[in-house]
Amino acid sequence: MGEEFQQKLEGYVEQIAQYHDPAMQGLARALLPVEEFEEKAAIALAKEGKFQPTKEEENHFFLIQLLHWFKTSFKWVNSPSCDFCASNTHHIGMGEPSAEDLQFGASRVEIHSCELCGTVTRFPRYNSPAKLMETQCGRCGEWANCFTFYCVALGYNARLVLDFTDHVWTECYSPYLGRWVHLDPCEASYDTPLLYEKGWGKKLNYVIAVAKDGVYDVTKRYTRKWPEVVSRRNLVSEETAEEVVALLTAIQRSKLEPEELDILEQRDRQEAEELSGAQASPETDQHLPGRQSGSKEWREVRGEMGVQHIESDRSFCPARLCADEHVGKIYQAIGLLCSQERSTAEKELALLHDLLIKLKRQPFRARSAKLESTDETQLNFLQSKGGAAWLDGIGMKQASDGSGGMQVTLKEPPGKAALALVTALENVEKVTKKLASQDMSSLQLMLQGRRLCGGLVYATGEQMPSGTASAAFDGHYSTKWEEPGGAKGVLVGATLVYHLHGNASQHIVGYDLTSANDCPERDPLDWMLEGSCDGGKTWQLLDKRSGELFQERYERRCFIVAKESQFPCSVLRLQFAAVRETVKTSRLQLSSIDFYLHN
């Protein structure tokens, strides 16, 4: 049995050797939208108030953007579409690999029959990253294989992680965090190692990571039930498993320089301490979902739909800073612009939109726009009070070019300006549509320009890494707070707590909620807003809603707090008792939340 265990791992050692082909790595880097990742990473850092990030921070957040991109770029295949008519197919057996299949590591070839025309379609299970960059499809094996390769090609210390109960994912070492980080490209899941045991309900046994510099048994990272896991580790004795892992690691490291070995051995000791202490760590209170990738029927057969979590006393995720000063400035600029006659407002919105688009097309680190002296209308607008407010809101400044024109350049750090630019562009487009429809009711609080900014927000749950609570306050319609535990009644529902900056006490006159990009069933239906003037010890009702329906995606709805309910509060609490379709899901999501103060 020891030989079989070793041979299985040796196959993966051979597989990851392909990741280090210089020509293939060069092709990968050429295919990836690196500058787009860099800008999105800078925006993500700015959302956390990191406007002058270190290189380690930039690399870490870049990796998260790669994960997001891969999830939307790679295609999951339950059964391939028919080669002849593109209809659905079903699996009927296995076929013989061709010479080309074998060239790209596809020793297994599935045969599928079209449900409409009966044509047979072959589905080779490729192992070659070069081929997977071309096909961009498969199941977890192909996903993790190609994603891990991309990580290596971009210079990350990455491992392919093999779960013997039939799943594969990735780990990357993060100098920023000083540890290994779990990444599952199929689920776009980041740093949630208990996803499989707690979320999917998997009965793990062996979880082995394979890299150029060694083979590692990392099972303890993925369980808090080690005694149960050990009882299922019966392929080989624990001593034999350790010997095989040590032997393969020694072979992998045999040609490394002493300096490299010293670094690896230090990292090994650090990881050993982490893994040995993992079982003493408390199990996360975070709600972890069942498997999302693959058809429902396939997930049900595998028993990976997950388990229902019912918490009577839910804890909160870490505090998130709302680095949203730019949102307040942009809302003030919107209010100033819309206070003019409608025709003037529409004209200036069009000029502003042109400028924002021009800036958006520029490299984010050197963003600028030049206006010639002949651009008289736009020059006049930018030199007005309203134009100056917009430039300040998006982190830009103006200067004369000496010939009657103007140069618009960065005033704020690139990431901060990039964050504000997206917010401005999305809101300009939204306000333009509202003006055209002559229905400004949903913007009545926004136009007053007194948005609450700079607070600390806590939530009972969030979808890492992008669906955090602070995503609801960044001013972007395209991002969202996603609460996996969802809304199941006030006592166990999704809750968001907002501490005003500096513990200031303010009268809240109202708030806006904006629906997210998809899944209407996750819209909030019933909720209440409360306030506290003693730091959250006691609460007083500000507003309560039930049966509220969002009719569209990215729909902003305005809710006024009755005057008799207003009082000076330093903490706000939103509790969601139900989502739109509680039978289908309890998961809650919102694109944005805005609180407003007295004028």
d(CA 410, CA 396): 5
Q: Is 345 helix (H, G, I), strand (E, B) or coil?
A: helix
Asked if residue 158 lies in contact with residue 145, where contact means CB atoms within 8 angstroms, the answer is no
Among candidate residues 114, 140, 151, 453, the one labeled active-site is 140
Closest CA to 557 of 579, 590, 520, 589: 590
d(CA 557, CA 511): 8
Q: Using alpha carbons only, what angle is made at residue 451 by residues 469 and 453, rounded to the nearest 5 degrees?
A: 50
Among candidate residues 101, 114, 146, 184, the one labeled active-site is 184
Q: Is 456 helix (H, G, I), strand (E, B) or coil?
A: strand
Respond yes or no on whether the N-terminal peptide bond of residue 465 is cis (omega within 30° of 0).
yes
Bridge partner residues of 371 (DSSP): 406
Q: Give the number of C-alpha atoms closer than 13 A to the C-alpha of residue 514, restricted to the C-beta side.
A: 25
Report the residue count for the chain. Answer: 599
Bridge partner residues of 528 (DSSP): 544, 575
287 is catalytic: no
Crossing angle of helices 34-47 and 414-437, in 10° steps, is 90
Q: What is the 3-state secondary structure (H, E, C) of 366-433?
A: HCEEEECCCCHHHHHHHCCHHHHHHHHHCCEEEEECCCCCEEEEECCCHHHHHHHHHHHHHHHHHHHH
Pairing assessment for the beta strands 588-590 and 556-560 based on DSSP bridges: unpaired
Among candidate residues 82, 101, 114, 167, the one labeled active-site is 167
Q: Which residues are within 8 A (CB) of 525 and not within 5 positions of it... i.e. 6 or more apart?
A: 487, 546, 547, 548, 549, 577, 578, 579, 580, 582
Asked if residue 111 lies in contact with residue 92, where contact means CB atoms within 8 angstroms, the answer is yes
DSSP letter at 144 equals H
DSSP per-residue codes, 543-563 = EEE-S----STT-EEEEEPPG
83 is catalytic: no
Token duo for residue 455: 């607070």
d(CA 299, CA 297): 5
Pairing assessment for the beta strands 75-76 and 137-138 based on DSSP bridges: parallel
Q: Look at the block and give the residue holding tokens 């629906």.
A: 515
166 is catalytic: no
Q: Which residues are catalytic?
A: 140, 167, 184
